[in-house]
Chains A and B, each alone.
Chain A
């Protein structure tokens, strides 16, 4: 790459204060003295740790999509719903836009974030960068905001209580896999320091 590896400055995303990049001991954070935003966290092995967490999240994601999420028992009949059932149900009723939104927030976005992270992190563990790593990484940081798996989980709990009086809902394997997915993905996201990730990506061989 023709560009210098990194400029000697960091700027605060929240208040635009500019600083020379300090030497940070491992495991410590740099906080903007003006607005208290977190600027840098130096976790020496974050690529390995995040890769492991995202792999686990990917497995949970598959499990969550294969097994039933909830089972409804009413009138001596059982009815399984898979995770995608909350999208197809809306679609069947003609609420296409709403189905699209729900599917995007609880299936497509988490799926994309997991896939993109694997694509970026696994090669990076060996100091490599694949072809579309930069644009993917950029798309990933935009997509993260629209990944609402934890909100969906709260919605599932509320639904349990809401239907409690009319029918019986039981939780399936997929529900617990979904919980695992949320935990793994959220820890992976918090472990990754964006600026460190970009710095490592620039240093990686194509």
Chain B
């Protein structure tokens, strides 16, 4: 295989996908230049425009909704689905044909992610795809766009032959990462490496300040990466330390995948404005409401970027051709904006104010597990406090001393100011500062491309490793009691921070697997217990460990074993170079090994119990909310 010419970073975001690339082989004194690929996409039937951002929306039109041949692309004329700008705008009019937020479905454990379930509310005879297939189509669109623009004549310049880095949220667990890699393989991109998004944003910052970043951070500091995009919020902590005279950066903590972002804010404003109009006896239909959401987004941006404006008019033009006669007017005042956004989403409360957990109602609608509490600062407080809970050495919360912001929502200066004020109040550190960043939409893709250069030795590497501690659940040997689930012990198989390429053999515990039968293991994870070593058994884990998935292995019988022979095996864990997790059962008496596969089908709500069950975790794992836009 020829050496790659380009290093490519792909940000497969919840609302936007971006591809950045740079030359792989640079001379020593050459400065790297990172470019964005202009991705051709349908903007209107029959019109193709190249833009650097590809909205992560997929439209599956029925037979009569799009003119025939209207979705033709330069590389394929007989397209029957659309990805990108047109999918988003037309899909807003046809919500049961639109797949949005496929990425958030990839880490939703409550559904079978390989079955065709999206769009979630498609009619019975409507077209459907699985979240895996939808993500694969976004990547395939990128691959075709790249091949068409960069690799017309030369097969070595195709995307499959380049060095590829795909970003995933740091909060994605091992199963979601595995699915992302599968989606890439479905899209025809088998060779890739995963990189976490907050780390990628940090690399983009390192690249932007390539000469002077060492002056901006000091040894002993903790940096918070606060990534709030259109649909998700993600937090990470990076520690700056000194090892043998060298500056070392290590990613020490990741948060949960919180489905809360800019779209929630726009909807909140729109609902409030709709209520205001209803008081004046003006009711909006669905089309007008969508127009109101768009106007609210623009008015919000204007008010946040111009602190001297007191209010911003909101105008919804009349439907049909009597624009002016049917125009509906209202305005968004700064007071309302502050009350809803700043106090609703970024309230500055005490450091112990954690997200409210709404009690669960018996029947709930399945869907994406949206966060029940919209206050992002409370989620941040919870994330920071959990880091202290895991460490036994220090009882204090490791507050950061500098914050790097990422994501479209954080472009607004007042919102950044709120987060900084909250952190300053909690930590008592008035000198808590912001690391200035540019390109908040594009930083993740640019950082991923820069990471490729870093791996070649061009810059400092942020040590990451496994973002969670992973365990296998072992049932204690106890007599069965009907109605009470057998308590599990957790055996640590992957310690926190296990680096890529490392392998561990867990010889302390042996399991007996029955030949010919399927073996099922419970797979558990913790983001706060960082001190557990490989092979350690944990009896009493409180709220710190939660179930991720089940692992299965099918042992085919060979010639030697017949019937239901029992084979003693021990476990072997490995973090691959790609960034995914592999667990193997290795037979003690022979050389045979069997790989444990993640069961990505629907997880029944197995109420697993440690010795101390807490209803809170169960609610946490299953908290859903009715989808905001009906």
Q: Do A and B bind each other?
A: no
* Residues of chain A whose beta carbon lies under 8 Å from any beta carbon of chain B: none
